[in-house]
Amino acid sequence: MQRKLDKIMAICEKRGFFFPSAEIYGGKAGFWTYGHLGTLLKRKFENEWNLDENFYEIEDCNLLPEQVFVSSGHLEHFRDPLTECKKCHFRFRADELIEDELNINVEGIKAEAMDKIIRDNNLKCPKCGSRELTKVRWFNMMFELKVGAVGEETMYLRPETAQSAYLSFKREFYALREKLPIGLAIIGKAYRNEISPRQVFFRLREFTQAELQIFFDPKKINEVENWNKVRRYKLRMFLAKNRKSKKVVEMSCEDVVKKLNLPKMYVYYLAMVQRFYLNILKIPKEKFRLKELTEKERAFYNKIHYDVELFLETLEGFKEVAGIHYRTDYDLRNHQEGSKESMEVINEKKEKFIPHVLELSFGVDRNVFSIVDIFFKEEKERNLFVFPRKLAPIEVAIFPLVRKDKLPQKARKVFSLLKDSGFIVFYDEKGSIGRMYRRMDEIGCPAMITIDYDSLKNDDCTLRDRDTMKQIRVKIDELPQTILKFLNGEKLTKLGKIFK
């Protein structure tokens, strides 16, 4: 689907969704800029990302001291297998070469084993075709830098936001009255020195994560207050044993607990995450699955790990956009050892323990790109984004039918009315009404309002639905309320009589 990808990218670059960072200097792989529409769409995703009403957002530095990553294990383990062509000196990831050529997943295996696979299968440089490749060596993906007047201290750009929540846990535990569970959310930048950035927003060097770390008493992992609300809710499980058949099975939360022996709390959050994708982001069910990771595939500190995968036409398959990780007490325990600060808390029974952590981790850019992929639609006469109405970057567009006879003045008044009511509004008067409609269709604006000659007489306007292109007339003083209902999902026919 390169064709579809090209089409989407052309629209996104032209209309201000996103484009390569520092593009006028040729850009750098893995770095992107969000234009004004992309920024609005990203903000909307971030604001809707509200998986549990009992969490608190914190904000930390992107630069953290070396000791943090000694304790977290990143300094030792956060690395990719690198190989180099001896002929053309192209450097690339050995695991990707093997995956691309042989369709073997080599996650978790040693460098020597990769060497052997490459040799045994006679794999060659993807650039020049030479078969002389250097031995696979490990390459740490964190960006290192020196801080201070003569660079006396080493710090790193964080490769995930999670560590910041662990570092702040004790402070926040006390500030939040010493109760568990506590959810600490961070929406912020993370950095990885990827050897080969690719697949648009799916392997970036600078990216935004939205991560929620839930700290809890491991003895209560099967106590969930709202369990009844999800008990019968069906999860779309893509189990490891079905990897070959690609079969997704729908199982109730209750069954998942019983049959897969997963803790209730973990399954509850699987349900919360699935609901977010299906109900809030309105992802079609068949494009969503919860993929089980095997022990080999998951990080060694993750006891349970499922990924959220969405099917993207442009990238021709299911792609990971989020993960639900049961990290146990791995992180807090290591920071306790590394910092000598106690991470223990005391429960009602006066038992001392280190809390366990359940992590909900989302790649914001990947999700934004997925929304753009999934809601792109090609019709005979137009290309458009059929974003869920509440996610649309621009919510309402206002046009005068013509640029004379005081129609623009009237239209500008309606613009102000809606802007003051808190909607994200765009005014346009350049071109024919048909062309103005098309331009707003293209960026996925769900509601379009036209001021015509009747508007001057009757103080009303037309409201056009992006998806059906149908129109109704609405009194201007009722417009804010009508638009609110419309953005909340009400059908146009329920709001007025279709006349066109």
Site for a copy of itself in 151-180 (CB under 8 A): 153, 155, 157, 164, 167-168, 170-172, 174-177
Q: Considering only residues 459-478, where is the footprint of a copy of itself by CB under 8 A?
A: none
Task: Give how far Cα 182 sits from Cα of 60, 65, 87, 257, Å.
Answer: 17, 25, 54, 23
**Angle at which helices 264-275 and 253-260 cross, to 10°:** 140
Contact 122, 130 (CB under 8 A): no
Q: Considering only residues 129-148, where is the footprint of a copy of itself by CB under 8 A?
A: 139, 143-148
CA 275, 276, 279, 282 torsion-angle sign = negative
- Which CB, 151 or 434, lies closer to a copy of itself? 151
- Name the minimum Å distance from CB 187 to a copy of itself: 10
- Which CB, 41 or 463, lies closer to a copy of itself? 41
Residue 48 touches a copy of itself, criterion: CB under 8 A: no
Residue with tokens 């500190």: 301
- Name the minimum Å distance from CB 199 to a copy of itself: 18
Binding-site string for a copy of itself from residue 333 to residue 352, where x marks contact by CB under 8 A and - marks none: --x--xx-x-----------
- Name the minimum Å distance from CB 226 to a copy of itself: 13
Residue type at position 462: T
> Is the preceding peptide bond at 181 cis, omega within 30 degrees of 0?
yes
- Name the minimum Å distance from CB 478 to a copy of itself: 20
* Choice from 5, 8, 64, 324 touching a copy of itself (CB under 8 A): 64
Two tokens at 144? 């290192």
Q: Considering only residues 370-429, where is the footprint of a copy of itself by CB under 8 A?
A: 419, 428
Burial 332-367 (b: 16+ CB within 10 A, else e): bbbbbeeeeeebebeeeeeeeebbbbbbbbbbbbbb
- Which CB, 242 or 339, lies closer to a copy of itself? 339
Residue 239 touches a copy of itself, criterion: CB under 8 A: no
Q: Which stretch binds a copy of itself (CB under 8 A): 38-46, 213-221, 318-326, 480-488?
A: 38-46
DSSP-H helix ranges across 176-252: 227-230
- Which CB, 64 or 479, lies closer to a copy of itself? 64
Contact 235, 271 (CB under 8 A): yes
Cα(52)–Cα(494) distance, integer angstroms? 32
Two tokens at 262? 């997963």
Residue 59 touches a copy of itself, criterion: CB under 8 A: yes
Q: Sort 13 into a burial class: Cβ within 10 Å, 0-12 / 13-18 / 19+.
A: middle
Two tokens at 90? 């192209």
- Name the minimum Å distance from CB 303 to a copy of itself: 24
The residues facing 425 across adjacent strands are 396
Cα(6)–Cα(16) distance, integer angstroms? 15
- Judged by DSSP in three states, 438 sits in helix
Residue 257 CB neighbour total at 10 angstroms: 21
Cα(160)–Cα(72) distance, integer angstroms? 11
Q: Considering only residues 173-232, where is the footprint of a copy of itself by CB under 8 A?
A: 174-177, 184, 189, 191, 193, 195, 205-206
- Name the minimum Å distance from CB 409 to a copy of itself: 14
- Which CB, 1 or 70, lies closer to a copy of itself? 70
- Which CB, 146 or 219, lies closer to a copy of itself? 146
- Which CB, 183 or 496, lies closer to a copy of itself? 183
- Name the minimum Å distance from CB 211 to a copy of itself: 14
Q: Considering only residues 71-100, where is the footprint of a copy of itself by CB under 8 A?
A: 82, 91
Two tokens at 82? 């690198």
- Name the minimum Å distance from CB 343 to a copy of itself: 9
Q: Which stretch binds a copy of itself (CB under 8 A): 37-45, 114-122, 219-227, 291-299?
A: 37-45
Nearest 10 degrees: CA dihedral of 310, 361, 375, 387?
A: 150
Give the residue among 140, 197, 139, 188 at the shortest CA–CA distance from 163: 188
* Choice from 2, 24, 241, 500 touching a copy of itself (CB under 8 A): 24
- Which CB, 182 or 476, lies closer to a copy of itself? 182
Q: Which stretch binds a copy of itself (CB under 8 A): 28-36, 216-224, 281-289, 314-322?
A: 28-36
Contact 51, 276 (CB under 8 A): yes
- Name the minimum Å distance from CB 115 to a copy of itself: 17
- Name the minimum Å distance from CB 404 to a copy of itself: 18
Residue 286 CB neighbour total at 10 angstroms: 9
- Name the minimum Å distance from CB 172 to a copy of itself: 6
**Strand order across the 91-93 sheet:** 91-93, 79-84, 137-140
